[in-house]
Amino acid sequence: MSAPTAAVLAHTRRVCTLYKKSLRSLESWYDRRHIFRYHAVLMRARFDKHRNEKDPAKIAQLVADGERELFETQHFQPKKFAMSPGGVAFEREVVPPDWVLDYWHPLEKAQYPEYFARREKRKEEYVIWWEKQYGKAPSSDSHH
């Protein structure tokens, strides 16, 4: 990818990001759908007015002005999706690490015999791979 192509892609992404953030900002300000849509159409018209601009300096200035305006008009408590960064449920569901399964009671493991048999086999394969890759760990007897 040539440098001008990369610059065009970076510019396009910057404009698309500005547009999407602007829409999200409008959603925060206008909770009634029809009012939000009205302002979204007005904002889209502002973007489309400069769609065919060719002067790179003017384009850069327009994007910078748009980003500044977005910053200055941002909502004091923007809406966030619950599972998105900043949302109330972001990273709430904790995925337990694999080693927790080692501490399951044998009666719990007996409920999933195929899974734990395959898991033990994979743990043995991993130990073999590790020793082949890094060598055997020194035994605890050799330290004395």
Q: Which domain holds residue 103?
A: 98-136
117 occurs within a structural domain: yes
Mean pLDDT of the chain, nearest integer: 88
Q: Is the pLDDT of residue 63 over 80?
A: yes
Task: Give pTM, 2 decimals.
Answer: 0.58
Q: How much is the pLDDT for 105?
A: 96
Query: For 95-136, how does the pLDDT look when each residue is reduced to its tens digit (9 = 90+)?
Result: 899 999 999 999 999 999 999 999 999 999 999 999 999 988
d(CA 18, CA 25): 10
122 occurs within a structural domain: yes
Burial of 66 (0-12, 13-18, 19+ CB in 10 A): buried
Q: Is the pLDDT of residue 81 over 90?
A: no
Co-location of 19 and 66 in the same domain: yes
90 occurs within a structural domain: no
Co-location of 104 and 66 in the same domain: no
Higher pLDDT, 3 or 114: 114
Final residue belonging to a domain, choices 24, 56, 72: 72
83 occurs within a structural domain: no
Q: How much is the pLDDT for 117?
A: 96
Co-location of 13 and 48 in the same domain: yes
102 occurs within a structural domain: yes
77 occurs within a structural domain: no
Q: How much is the pLDDT for 123?
A: 94
Q: Work out the percent of the chain whose per-residue pLDDT is above 90.
A: 61
Co-location of 104 and 68 in the same domain: no
Q: Work out the percent of the chain whose per-residue pLDDT is above 70.
A: 90
Burial of 122 (0-12, 13-18, 19+ CB in 10 A): exposed
Confidence of residue 78 (pLDDT cuts 50, 70, 90): confident
Query: What is the rounded average pLDDT of the residues 4-20?
Result: 80
d(CA 68, CA 129): 54
Co-location of 59 and 106 in the same domain: no
Co-location of 66 and 102 in the same domain: no
Co-location of 68 and 119 in the same domain: no
Diameter of the chain by CA atoms?
80
Question: Count of domains in the chain?
Answer: 2
127 occurs within a structural domain: yes
